[in-house]
Chains A and B, each alone.
Chain A
């Protein structure tokens, strides 16, 4: 039955249940086991990853399936791609998505191309868990949102859950998937609690979710930006503006059908993306909608993104960096103002 658990616990539970269902599922990364099960350390050092997301799993599945690696992203990501190509279903943890540079050779040049270059004879059932997002005052090298970078690579799927229910179901689906899936966890969402079923389930990859139906204006969000959109929708409801809020859920391949149908209904689109503003998911959605739903548009498409800078460390500047409701009202005023009047 359902009970409330945190975003972090939901992810832990997904790994636990996937490992239980399929012995080919292994975890690897820096400190994913920590000191656990090592006699002289006891459980003192059992961090379970830098945020403790994998906590408890090494005790249950042993060091053969929960593997601490040296601090070498290039090394263990290469091992993970090789293991996936040769029959396992690895779930490596990339501590922060800002470290993705080390992994591009294995993920971009090798992993993403193998299935294609080997004529479909190789499968790469790899799920890379990583954490992103500003708001924890973790400075520029630990706070970026780079799902868009990965989303532009053919052969890689990218999911960004916004809530515990989706996190668990998407991670299960990712592990079941025979392709590389990048699983992005926003570190500032780890603590949010929600009802999550105890049993194993999956959430479809590639399907956006309409979180609030509306008829006047569509807002598409990625990850925690959902909560910004819901705040905007609530404020506008008082002015009689009926907003449709769509959680993109999957950045690649993103759900064109759901978004285009929504824009055909409302004629107006705002996209909120915490990534930097150029060549990102928001700009991609914007260009596809401008092309495929041109005749339905009732105003310019507005992309509300972070500025074109690294994430500031100072928490006041960091708060300015993250898109919020005020920024939406400010930058998208011309899409909103006349709706209020009518």
Chain B
């Protein structure tokens, strides 16, 4: 029996993947566990291992071809075996560069992803043909995601309005993680209404608190009680107070999440990945510290399982190590909020009783999606984060 190599499903949100490159040719012998190809999803790249010993009999999906998760991309067996027709996907021509670009544009589509077939009603097809519209660029809103007459007519309008914006070539000429990032960042800016708020928090008490804690906890602290950990805790507490910010919005679906999963942006050689602190709301400060330390080192050494790289509900991006103060982080869609963290600065300030004191200030930049939350709410949320940072004993509860 020949065994199919399947497009893996990496995380709950992945519906389809792209075969980036094959390391084996048809006819090559492979051992179970050998890496046969690399695939990419919207969020990450992943090496696919051979499920059995044998010969790579057939490659169903060529490089750059896209296919839904759990569909066969190739098959392994003995030389004498015939590749069963049934095991091959119905059809999956390798996509052209043009089609890939288009895919970027329609990622918001709720369309039935049944192996790339586009459903369109007869009248819609006729009108599209009459007006010279390439209907593969239209998002269907009818039953089964089919394109209806209204969709074609509305498309004509939006094309006129957004002709400048539709010039997308995100990811063109790039490969691997770089391409994924290019698509995602471009997509984020296209699909959301991003606004960034800036303010600083007085973290002098926090720094004192941190020094105290480190000294007193000693060996009981297995991770680093870094500024990232304290920030993550402050963000978690603020998200509990403002559940509206722990949400996602994409494909016409607005979901406020119950669980809090914090993404921590980490720069690596190839680009940027965002490991996720799962269920961060139920972790104590020490547990959080341990978790973040492992995640970040895992991210840098590429040893994190794909599950730990997906599913965040809010992201923190820290550029403080490079002396950056304020910046405008881009939303990690479909999340609706991301907190940018800058470098702590020492300033002279007046204390409560008008004495000049040294104050440590942390610049914070909150980007939010104005489609689903307004500036006032986002401002209160940012203020809430500052309150927790400025009153660090609150972080313990």
Taking Cβ atoms with an 8 Å cutoff, the residues of A that contact B are 267, 294-300, 333-335, 337-339, 341-342
Contact = CB atoms under 8 A, between A and B. Distances in A.
A333 B143 contact: yes
B141 A341 contact: yes
Nearest to B143: A334
Given A267-B121, A267-B123, A294-B122, A299 B142 contact: yes
B149 interface: yes
B257 interface: no
Contacts of B149: 267, 298
A297 B121 CA distance: 6
Interface string B113-133: 000000001111010000000
A212 B329 CA distance: 56
Nearest to B126: A295
Contacts of A300: 143
B143 A337 contact: yes
Contacts of B148: 267, 298-299, 338
A164 to B, nearest CB: 38
Interface of B: 121-124, 126, 141-144, 146, 148-150, 154
B220 to A, nearest CB: 57
29 contacts: A294-B122, A295-B122, A295-B123, A295-B126, A296-B123, A296-B126, A297-B121, A297-B122, A298-B121, A298-B123, A298-B124, A298-B148, A298-B149, A298-B150, A299-B142, A299-B146, A299-B148, A300-B143, A333-B143, A334-B142, A334-B144, A335-B143, A337-B143, A338-B142, A338-B148, A338-B150, A341-B141, A342-B141, A342-B150
A333 B144 CA distance: 11
A333 B143 CA distance: 8
A39 to B, nearest CB: 68
Contacts of A339: 150
B336 to A, nearest CB: 23
B143 A299 contact: yes
A334 B143 CA distance: 4
A341 B149 CA distance: 14
A9 to B, nearest CB: 45
7 residue pairs, one from A and one from B, having the closest CB atoms: A334-B143, A298-B121, A298-B149, A338-B141, A297-B122, A298-B123, A267-B123
A334 B126 CA distance: 21
Given A295-B123, A299-B142, 19 more contacts: A267-B148, A295-B122, A295-B126, A296-B123, A297-B121, A297-B122, A298-B124, A298-B142, A298-B149, A299-B148, A333-B143, A334-B143, A335-B143, A337-B143, A338-B148, A338-B150, A339-B150, A341-B141, A342-B154
Most buried by B among A297, A298, A333, A337: A298
Contacts of A335: 143
Q: Chain B binding site: helix, strand, loop or mixed by DSSP?
A: helix
A338 B143 CA distance: 8
Contacts of B154: 342
A299 B121 contact: yes
Contacts of A298: 121-124, 142, 148-150
Contacts of B146: 299
Contacts of B121: 267, 297-299
Nearest to A302: B143
A335 B144 CA distance: 10
B29 to A, nearest CB: 49
A325 to B, nearest CB: 19
A11 B123 CA distance: 43
B218 to A, nearest CB: 61
Contacts of B123: 267, 295-298
A295 B127 CA distance: 10
Given A267-B149, A338-B150, A342-B150, A296 B122 contact: yes
B121 to A, nearest CB: 4
Nearest to A336: B143
A297 B146 CA distance: 12
Nearest to A341: B141
Nearest to A296: B123
A267 B150 CA distance: 11
A201 B148 CA distance: 44
Most buried by B among A267, A299, A334, A337: A299
Contacts of A296: 122-123, 126
Contacts of B142: 298-299, 334, 338
Nearest to B125: A295
A262 to B, nearest CB: 14
Contacts of B124: 298
Nearest to B252: A341
Contacts of B122: 294-298
B249 to A, nearest CB: 17
Contacts of B150: 298, 338-339, 342
Contacts of A294: 122
A31 to B, nearest CB: 51
A300 B126 CA distance: 16
Contacts of B143: 299-300, 333-335, 337-338
A296 B143 CA distance: 17
B395 to A, nearest CB: 45
Contacts of B141: 338, 341-342
B146 to A, nearest CB: 7
A334 B144 CA distance: 8
A300 B122 CA distance: 10
A338 B142 CA distance: 6
Contacts of A341: 141
Contacts of A299: 121, 142-143, 146, 148
Nearest to B120: A298
A196 B149 CA distance: 42
